[in-house]
Amino acid sequence: MGDMKRISSILILGLLALSAFAILPVSAQPQKGPGVDEVIIEVRASGEVGVGDVATGLLDAYWKSLSPAVYAGLPEDWKQNLKLIKNAGGFNGLVFNPAHDPDNPYIITVGGKQYFNPFAIREVRFAMNFIYSRKYIVDEILLGGGQPMYGMPQPSNPRNSLVEDIYAEAGFSPEGDFEYGYNMIQDALTKAASELGGRLEKRVDPNAPAGFWWYFDGEPVTVTFLIRIEDERHEMGLYIADQIEKCGIKVERREITFAEGIRLTYYTDPKDYLWNIYTEGWSLGQGINPLYYADYAVIFYAPFIGLMPGYQEEGWWQYENDTLDEIGLKIWLRQVESMDEFHELAHEVVRLGVYEAVRIYIVETWEYFPVNKERVTRIAYDPARGLWSEWPLYTTKTTDGTFRIAVESAQPAMFTEALNPIGGFGDVYTMYGVYVAITDDGTESSPVTGEPEPYRVNWTMEKKYHYEDGQVVGEIDVPPYAVMYDTLANEWVEVGEGVKAAVKVVFNLTFSKFHHGVWEDMNDIRYAIAHTFEWATLDEPGDRKYDARYASDLQQTLPLIKGFVFREPNVVEVYHDFIEIQSDAVTATFFVPWTAWPWELWEAMDWIIVNNGSVTGNTYSWNKVEGKEWLNLITEDHVRDLIAALEEMRNRRHVPDALKGFVDPVKAIARYNAAERWGREKGHMLISNGPFYVETYDPIRPYMLLKAFRDPSYPFTSDYWYYKYRVVREVIEKIDAPVSATTGSDITVKVNVIEVEEFPEAGEAPSETAYVTVSLVSPEGRTVFSEVASLVEPGVFQVTIPGSATEGLAEGSYTIKVSAATHEMAPYAEVATQEIVLTAPVVTPTPTPSPTPSPTPSPTPSPTPSPTPAPKTKLYIAAGIVIIIIVVVAVFLLTRKK
């Protein structure tokens, strides 16, 4: 259950009491719900069309960030109508299919035929970091809209400096080094050829880009490259494909849409060998929060999480790496005693992930969402992710109360991912266009600090523990009457005597009505918790209530839960052993007792997954699995089966196992009736508790209408966020530094920074509180100096790089890298760079001085009576020896231009 997971838990506090006295005149009450009355979601086929419609007023915003290249050619009058909102939370890269047969590290057998998979070889994957230029992609394809990226975390993450030495050690550089990568690939394939007994060979072909092709069993070695067409990944993919062919490997360029790329890459078994490379693009759900930098590394590198090829789908070929899983699990569960240990483990995960190179990174993208600034009068957004966050739909106000947006899709369908709360809402459009609009989670991440904050739950926390062999050992007594859900017995059981926990959190829950008019209550929470344990636990072979992909990370974290105490009407105590040493808020929200979905909807979904659809006969799954329907709460046939399940449960007077003893059949029937009515009236089963509800969904147009949920029970007013946060970001206007300097001399760097207020009121002023760092980065990417800048006057920060930091450095082109954030651990830091050329100081020779002549003594008179004649030649000892020695040492320490 997505709301229950630690990393996806995010949110914010606020309960506004509503008082009205029937016997008195009623004054105007604050409007409940969001700032606009409705949100209309449509589809546009391309960014060019979308931004044009925003500029001309047909749309208020386009729900996809676009590169500077899209805006460069717009008419000036269009540009005047646009407010551009930056998204630095995205990044692009490549993921490889490393599948091979169990008995051969090079070959994959499909349908009786054997194929040579070059990306089953680690060295070939790793070489892909070098054969192209990231700088070319940033400068020529993105038109400056990003920066090179070599691994996780992103370059804009303040903690990225902790892993930059890995990239320097690997020899990465913005320009790349084709020759080095080419040789690495040839060496690896030559070694494979020697082990395959002549089945793999080079064949000369003067028409080939490399002058030859590699052949396997008499056919060219060919890789299938899935290249997205909707954005700059198209040009990036074609460029990289050309570079691969220059290494003697043929490329089948499959230029595909978002939907096809997602389906083939993440929802097919790698051993089916339908793809070799995919141009991935991601936007982090938590932005670039430094609190989670190690978690990002674990998510994208460690197989146990379920994001590496195989995706922990039962029966599929799996990429495995026990070391990554072992270290990653220690990070994930925070089995560390100090921040030093934490950083060391994170460093090792990144290092292993970089060298394994199943997933490699190319660029952090700096893109911009277009918003019509005439119609949209107020909007809050995440400083890192822009519109791909919770805040826009909560806070937006327009001139007429309607907010019209569009998502991008080159196909008729509006969404490529299913909408269900376990295996759905997996792409940015379903998540940030629909999920955040219709749901209220228990917590939200603050746009100011990035930390989880109370939203529909508030808490107090107690911690008491010690470490034994790196493991947290709790010292808090768990009440013997606390309960856990027994998934085998299908009942709640008391934990009994002697159970201890490290953390006790008391949550106060703010309930309101679900969209179908039923009040949330403690039974929704009981059911949701039981459901999480049920579907993440394999009770026995063939357990129908188990999902391996869903369980992939939960089965590691759920054992840390020690017990629950439910106190009616709205208090839950949670006891657990998770300690986030960086943040008490993250520790407290490790497991939030909350759900955005009513229990009867959960039970109906379970019903048709376990028993199949009684109307259609469909076999359902939470996730996209071959041979099964991917459960979708807006698909007509799926809705019919869900309604039929509600009817059947009502007719049986069914009470779920997790609620027996808490809900009687009469109350259960009332719930089933309300959900059934909703499904028949609305034509979908998206029943939740957030600021909007789905009024209409038309898959033919396609079109979705969200209406504001104005029920008096809803706890937040439309102005709540206006008074809750002041969202600002620091913008680097200028770096004032020399373009060249000599090694061993001081370098003064001044940085002009303005503070831009994004919400609640737009404005800017010279910054006086920014956290500014200045770094000097070597040509090979190593940080040789870094220091926090000092404020010298409003808007101006200064650092002097001392000569001792540059003394002895090789000559070459270095980079002054500046970052500016609202505070040290801010979730976003703006980055700017400037090149500086360092040269060795000229050695000026010191002339050797001429010796000073000694005075000649007066001659002593000779005793000879006759005078001796004076010599005709005088010896003038004028030693004028001038030695000129010029030593010019030109040492360029360029460890392989990659």
Q: What are the residues whose beta carbons fall under 8 Å from the beta carbon of 491, sequence distance 6 or more?
A: 485, 657, 660
Mean pLDDT of the region 376-393 = 87
**175/172 Cα distance (integer angstroms):** 9
Residue position matching structure tokens 């529909």: 456
Taking alpha carbons only, the member of 659, 660, 658, 661 closest to residue 487 is 658
Give pLDDT tens digits for 344-355: 999 999 999 999
Q: Which of 668, 552, 546 is nearest to 600 (CA)?
A: 668
Mean pLDDT of 608-627: 94
If one counts every other C-beta atom within 10 angstroms of the C-beta of residue 854, the result is: 7
Question: Residue 120's pLDDT band (boundaries 50, 70, 90)?
Answer: very high
- The mean per-residue pLDDT over the stretch 702-722 comes to 93
Residue 867 has pLDDT above 50, yes or no: no
| CA–CA dist 702, 387 (Å, integer) | 21
Please give the C-alpha separations between residue 4 and each of 7, 295, 305, 581, in angstroms, as whole numbers: 9, 17, 16, 20
678-700 in b/e form (b: 16+ CB < 10 A) is bbeebebbbbbbbbbbbbebeee
Please answer whether residues 485 and 534 qualify as being in contact, where contact means their C-beta atoms are separated by less than 8 angstroms.
yes
Give the H or E element holding residue 191.
helix 178-195
Tell me if 552 sits within 8 A of 304, measured CB to CB: yes
Q: What is the pLDDT of residue 386?
A: 87
> Cis ω on the peptide bond leading into residue 702 (within 30° of 0)?
yes
Q: Which amino acid is at 299?
A: I
Residue 556's pLDDT is 87
Length of the chain counted residue by residue: 898
Looking at residue 29, its pLDDT comes to: 67
Strands 107-110 and 376-378: unpaired
What CA–CA distance (Å, rounded) separates 773 from 753?
12
Label each residue of 341-374 as H, E or C.
HHHHHHHHHHHHHHHHCCEEEEEEEEEEEEEECC
* Sign of the torsion angle spanned by Cα atoms 184, 190, 191, 196: positive
DSSP letter, residue 717: B
Max mean pLDDT among 1-5, 282-286, 522-526 falls in 522-526
> Is residue 741 over pLDDT 90?
yes
Give the pairing type, strands 747-759 and 796-801: antiparallel
Mean pLDDT (whole number) for 503-527 = 98
pLDDT digits (tens, 9 = 90+) for 432-481: 899 999 999 999 888 777 788 999 999 999 999 999 988 899 999 999 99
Sign of torsion, CA 293 294 298 301? positive
Chain centroid offset of residue 573 CA: 31
What's the burial of 875, exposed, middle or buried (CB within 10 Å: 0-12/13-18/19+)? exposed
Average pLDDT over residues 852-874: 39
pLDDT higher than threshold 70 for residue 174? yes
Nearest to 279 by CA among 251, 314, 304: 251
CA contacts within 13 A on the Cβ side of 120? 21
- The highest-confidence range among 603-617, 719-733, 818-832, 849-863, by mean pLDDT, is 603-617
DSSP letter string over 205-223? -TTSTTSEEEEETTEE-EE
What b/e string do you get for 498-525 counting C-beta neighbours within 10 Å, with b at 16 or more? ebebbbbbbbebbbbebbbebebbbbbb
CA distance 540 to 196: 42
CA 385 to chain centre: 10
Average pLDDT of the residues in 840-860: 57
CA separation for the pair 229, 252 (Å, rounded): 15
pLDDT in tens, 479-494: 999 999 999 999 999 9
10 Å Cβ neighbour count for 57? 12
Q: What integer pLDDT is reported at residue 844 of this predicted model?
A: 66
Q: Where are the beta strands (DSSP E) in 709-746?
A: 727-736, 740-742
What's the pLDDT at 290? 77
Mean pLDDT of 318-328: 95
Average pLDDT over residues 509-522: 98
Among the listed residues 296, 298, 358, the one whose alpha carbon sits nearest the alpha carbon of residue 129: 358
pLDDT of the residue at 846: 61
d(CA 125, CA 104): 17
Do 728 and 755 form a contact (C-beta atoms < 8 A)? yes
* pLDDT band, residue 288 (cuts 50/70/90): low
pLDDT exceeds cutoff 80 at 3: no
Q: What are the tens digits of pLDDT across the range 224-263? A: 999 998 888 999 999 999 999 999 999 999 999 888 888 8
Q: Report percent pLDDT > 90 for the chain.
A: 69
Rounded Cα distance between 215 and 213, Å, is 6
Half-sphere exposure of 742 (CA within 13 A, CB side): 7
Residue 845: per-residue pLDDT: 67
What mean pLDDT comes out for the span 356-385? 92
Nearest to 707 by CA among 473, 470, 321, 401: 401
Q: Tell me the pLDDT of the chain averaged across its residues.
A: 88
| Per-residue pLDDT tens over the stretch 811-832 | 999 999 999 988 887 777 788 8
* H or E segment to which residue 148 belongs: strand 146-148
- Scored b (16 or more CB within 10 A) or e, 403-439 reads bbbbbbbbeeebbbbbbbbbbbbbbbbbbbbbbbbbb
Q: Give residue 883's pLDDT.
A: 28
- Percentage of residues of the chain with pLDDT beyond 70: 90
Mean pLDDT to the nearest integer, 770-781 = 89
pLDDT band for position 14 (cuts 50, 70, 90):
very low
This prediction has a pTM of: 0.81
Cα 877 to chain centroid, rounded: 81
Instruction: Express each pLDDT in 404-433 by its tens digit.
Output: 999 988 777 788 889 999 999 988 889 989
- The candidate with the shortest Cα–Cα distance to 439, out of 453, 423, 424, 421, is 421
Say yes or no to pLDDT of 578 above 90.
yes
The mean pLDDT value for 639-648 works out to 98
Asked if the peptide bond before residue 593 counts as cis, ω within 30 degrees of 0, the response is no
Q: How far, in Å, CA of 317 to CA of 326, rounded? A: 20
Model confidence over 252-275: pLDDT tens digits? Answer: 999 998 888 888 999 899 999 999
The reported pLDDT for the residue numbered 886 is 28
For the CA atoms of 401, 407, 411, 414, the dihedral, rounded to the nearest 10 degrees, stands at -60
Please name which of 684, 650, 679 lies closest in space to residue 667, comparing C-alpha atoms. Answer: 650
pLDDT at 218: 95
| Top-confidence residue, 492 or 282 | 492
Q: Is 447 exposed, middle or buried (0-12, 13-18, 19+ CB in 10 A)?
A: buried
The Cα–Cα gap between 768 and 763 comes to 15
Query: Helices 339-356 and 322-332 meet at what angle, rounded to 10?
Result: 150
For residue 411, the model assigns a pLDDT of 72
Q: Centre a 10 Å sphere on the Cβ of residue 101 and count the other Cβ atoms it contains.
A: 16
Question: Is the Cβ–Cβ distance between 839 and 743 less than 8 Å?
Answer: yes
Sign of CA dihedral 608, 609, 612, 616: positive
Residue 127 reports pLDDT greater than 50:
yes
Contacts of 501 (CB under 8 A, 6+ apart): 474, 476, 478, 562, 563, 575, 576, 577
Residue 841 contacts residue 744 (beta carbons within 8 Å): yes
Cβ count within 10 A of residue 833 = 15
Quick one: which of 457, 427, 459 has its CA closest to 444?
Answer: 457
Q: Give pLDDT, residue 451.
A: 84
State the Cα–Cα distance between residues 370 and 81, nearest whole angstrom.
9
Going by C-alpha positions, the residue among 399, 497, 565 that lies closest to residue 35 is: 399
Mean pLDDT of 156-161: 83
